[in-house]
Amino acid sequence: MKIEHLSGLIAAPFTAFHANGELNCEMIARQADSLVADGVKGAYICGTTGEGISCSVAERIAIMEAWTAASRGRLKLIAHTGALALGDVEVLGREAQRLGFYATSVVPPCYFKPGSVEALVEFCAAAAAAAPELPFYYYHTMNSGVNLSMVEFLEKADGRIPNLAGIKFNHHNLYEYQNCRWACDGRYDVIYGVDEFFAGALAVGAECFIGSTYNYSAELYTAVWRAFEAGDRAAVLAGMHKICQGVDLLNRHGGLAAGKAMMLVKGIECGNPRLPFLPLPETERREIAAALREILER
């Protein structure tokens, strides 16, 4: 399989829920249209932001089907198929291939964790084999508790996972990120995923990004990218200041729940997250959206 090095912004969409906690797939068409209008190139479905591991396999398939219909080929769709049970990973991978997704990706199991790079490669090989016609990305995230060498992962997986495309790299370690980009003669696609490190990743060569805040502020990131390419350091710093203010707002109000509230600036109601995250009062959700709007309009 020829490895494509992706470019541009790929959003990690929120999964919308009704007030009773049930899926609200009707919002997906509006989410897809919004991303396309903002110049986003793809969508990473049911990942951390999309609460994939808080959804059943049947729900995740329904979400994938809705994104396929809503995207209409306008977005590169990557399905996060990670789960605690390998059988669930395989079911989701097969569905992603059936639906014509661009790629699959997994977070490693976070309870019985792979304890070595060799164990991680074996797990990823099984996950990737469920959708052999699609590129496969390992999702390296600080949230999983699996902190193994990604350079060693690429070197050990090279040739053993035929459809391995690369890594979704969600870590602050830009030193390791750079080494991953050069591993195996630079063959693999290493996509950066920590939004508040955007300019830093650009500076060390990142060409593609996956992030949650692109759902409502993609135009701000695009402006920073253009300023970076133009050598306008002042504009990069000013844009990154706004980005960090938005992330600060997110963190102050509980992360995921606040991010879903921020979608109100796009006129999209994603509801509250599922337990164990606690819901935010409606007044606080509206205040968060208003505060984000003020940051973006400064």
Looking at residue 14, which CATH number applies to its domain? 3.20.20.70
**What pLDDT, on a 0 to 100 scale, did the predictor assign at position 172?**
94
User: Is residue 278 one of the residues assigned to a domain?
Assistant: no
User: Average pLDDT over the chain, rounded to whole?
Assistant: 96
The answer to whether 168 is a known catalytic residue is yes
The answer to whether 102 is a known catalytic residue is no
Compute the average pLDDT of residues 56-71: 98
In the set 139, 192, 214, 216, the catalytic residue is 139
- State the residue range of the domain holding 210: 8-232
User: Is residue 266 one of the residues assigned to a domain?
Assistant: no
**What pLDDT, on a 0 to 100 scale, did the predictor assign at position 298?**
83
Per-residue pLDDT band for 56 (boundaries 50, 70, 90) equals: very high
d(CA 40, CA 88): 29
Count of structural domains within the chain: 1
User: Is residue 251 one of the residues assigned to a domain?
Assistant: no
Q: How far is CA 165 from CA 85, 112, 125, 244, in A?
A: 23, 25, 12, 30
| Nearest partner of 108 among 146, 151, 65, judged by Cα | 146
Compute the average pLDDT of residues 243-247: 97
In the set 76, 168, 242, 260, the catalytic residue is 168
**What pLDDT, on a 0 to 100 scale, did the predictor assign at position 1?**
75
Per-residue pLDDT band for 101 (boundaries 50, 70, 90) equals: very high
User: Is residue 270 one of the residues assigned to a domain?
Assistant: no
**What pLDDT, on a 0 to 100 scale, did the predictor assign at position 142?**
85
**What pLDDT, on a 0 to 100 scale, did the predictor assign at position 2?**
79
pTM of the model: 0.96
Backbone angles phi, psi at 281, to 5 degrees: -60, 150
